[in-house]
Structures are given as structure tokens and as C-alpha cells.
Amino acid sequence: MTLARKINTASSCFFLIGFLIAKSQYLPFVLTPIIHNILALSCYFIAYTLWFVSSHYQGSNTPDKREWYGFAQFKEQFLYAATLGIIASFIGILALFLPALIVPSTWLIFSCNVLWSVGEYNKLKHPSDDDLNFSYSNQQADLSYALTMSGIACTSALSATLLFFLPSITMPVFIISALIIAGLGLLSCECLLNSFFGEHKKTPTSKSSYNLMHTSLEFASPQQKIKLDQPVYSQLLQKPPLVMVKNDEINTAGLTLQSCTPSR
């Protein structure tokens, strides 16, 4: 396992711990919701920081500038997303004491997830040539997970904005957003499990495909070639043509053909 993969795994673990802690505040525990939020946001802060570090070890690709997602390499898009996540987590901790900051914090999280999804799509379309373990189906699962998490972040940002500016509709907004987040949460868990434990075959990238084709079509080495003093076709041209004649029409002394007339 590469260093980037190890750091990504640790980052995913902190994201999962933060998610579980954040949702556990609705259980009848003795801890107050503010402690749950501080612990969850702290885990998110560590997870985004680890993601920021691992992005430096990601492979490089050549983005397609003609496409909407090709404004940067996917590793740079991951760096931008991780940076927004770090800022959003820090503002989220401050929002526990200044509630007005909850709105920009949630929208920063949504922006982070959007950049993450763009990076995953960029990686799907233009993977790194040096990634020997690239799998198209696995990358599709990662993209699906990023999109579902973006949907969750968008729902949270909308509900937080509505609750902050329209507190009178707290109950319907809370119920609707909770149902949407629950459904997207189950879908994201399925995508995550598929990414980690699904059977995904390796897909050769453009560079590895070229190397494989070059190897399969490579000519034999000079030591393995047949050494010929003259080309085969020139040797064949120097030989007299074969003529089918009757045995009694051959002059055995000179091996010359006798003239003959067709029978009537």
C-alpha cells in the first residue's frame, strides 16, 4: 500500500468517526450536543488535514482544457477541496459559539464536496498514467460516493440557511431534511462499501495500454532474426520457372524442350 493510500485510509476513518459522533447526539447520551459537535468537527478537521497531505502524493494527469472539469489536475482539485474543508471545519467550531457562522460553514462544506466530485470525475476521465492499480469501476464507485455526499452537504446547507432566516418553519424543514439525508446516507454507505470491498478489475491507463501494445507488437531482436545473404524474393527470381512437360518430350542430354504441335 502506497503512502497516499495509507493517509487516505486514515482520513476516511476520521471522517467516519466524525459522522458517527455527530449523529450520536440524537441518542440519549449524557454528553451535551455541543460536546458531540466539537468532537465531530475536530475529527473532520483532522480528516481534511490528512486529505490535504495525501493529495500531495497523488499521481499527476494531463487535464483536458477543453472540458469544463479540466481547469486543473485532479490532485490540485483535491487540494482545493481539502483546503475548503479545513476552513469550513474551523468555522464550524467557531459557529458553536457564534451561531451566525453556521451558514457560511455549511456552504463551504458543500463547495468542498463539489470540488471533490469534480476531481473524482476528472480522475475517472483522465486517470494518472503512473497509476498501475487504477480501476474504472472502482473510480465510478468513488465518484458516486462523492456525489451522494455532495447531495447531503447541499441538503444540510439549505436546511441550515432556512432555519437561520426562517425559524418559524423549523419542524417541517427538519423532518424533510432528515429524511433526505437519511436516504442519501444509506446510498453513500452502499457506494463506500462497494469502493472498499467490491470486486474491481484493474483498467489499463493510456500509457500502460501503449506499453502493452508496444510489447505485444515488438519485433524480434537482431540476434533472433534470420540472417539472409539475399532477400528471399531475389533468390526466387533467379531460379528458372517450372514447366510441366511430358516425359517423352525431354532431351535427357541437354534437358531442352522439343517443339510439339497440338493433336488434331
What DSSP line would sit under 187-227, residue for residue?
Answer: HHHHHHHHHHHS-------HHHHHHHHHHHTPPPPTTTSPP
Is residue 50 in a domain? Answer: yes
Q: Which residues contact 145 (CB under 8 A, 6 or more apart)?
A: 188, 191, 192, 195
Q: How confident is the model at residue 171 (pLDDT cuts 50, 70, 90)?
A: very high
DSSP 8-state secondary structure symbol assigned to residue 12: H
- How confident is the model over 15-44, as a mean pLDDT? 80
Contact at 8 Å (CB) between 195 and 138? Answer: yes
Q: Which residue has the higher pLDDT, 262 or 95?
A: 95
Has residue 113 got a pLDDT over 80? yes
Would 119 be classed as within a structural domain? yes
Q: In terms of pLDDT, which residue wins out, 131 or 237? A: 131
More confident residue, 3 or 185: 185
pLDDT of 204: 80
CA distance 35 to 46: 17
pLDDT of residue 156: 93
Residue listed under C-alpha cell 475529527? 43
Is residue 249 one of the residues assigned to a domain?
no
Classify residue 166: in a domain, yes or no: yes
Read off the pLDDT of residues 62-75 as tens digits, 9 standing for 90 and up. Answer: 888 889 999 999 99
Mean pLDDT in residue range 93-116: 94
pLDDT tens string 210-225: 344 444 444 444 444 4
Number of H helices, E strands in the chain: 8, 0
Closest C-alpha to 84, from 98, 100, 104? 104
How confident is residue 252, by pLDDT bands cut at 50, 70 and 90? Answer: very low
- Residue 246 in any domain: the answer is no
Task: Tell me: pLDDT of 94 over 70.
Answer: yes
Residue the block writes with cell 455549511 = 106
pLDDT at 55 over 70: yes
Domain for residue 218, yes or no? no
Q: What angle do CA 40, 191, 195 make, to 5 degrees?
A: 100
**pLDDT band of 29, cuts 50, 70, 90:** low
pLDDT of residue 213: 41
Distance CA 176, CA 195 (A): 29
For residue 250, give the amino acid letter.
I
With residue 157 as reference, give the H or E element that holds it. Answer: helix 136-165
Closest CA to 204 of 220, 216, 192, 218: 216
Nearest CA-CA partner of 87 in 108, 101, 117, 110: 108
Tell me whether residue 253 is in a domain: no
Question: Could you tell me the residue range of the domain that residue 121 belongs to?
Answer: 3-209
Q: Kindly tell me if the per-residue pLDDT of 229 is higher than 80.
A: no
Decide which of 179 and 36 is more confident. Answer: 179
Residue 33 lies in a domain: yes
* pTM check: above 0.95: no
Q: What is the pLDDT at residue 211?
A: 44
Q: What is the pLDDT of residue 258?
A: 44
Choice among 19-33, 72-86, 164-178 with the minimum mean pLDDT: 19-33
The domain total for the chain is: 1
226 pLDDT more than 60:
no
Q: How many CA atoms, within 13 angstroms, populate the side-chain half-sphere of residue 119?
A: 23
Examine the pLDDT at 164 and tell me if it is beyond 90: yes
Nearest to 92 by CA among 26, 153, 170, 181: 153
pLDDT of res. 20: 81
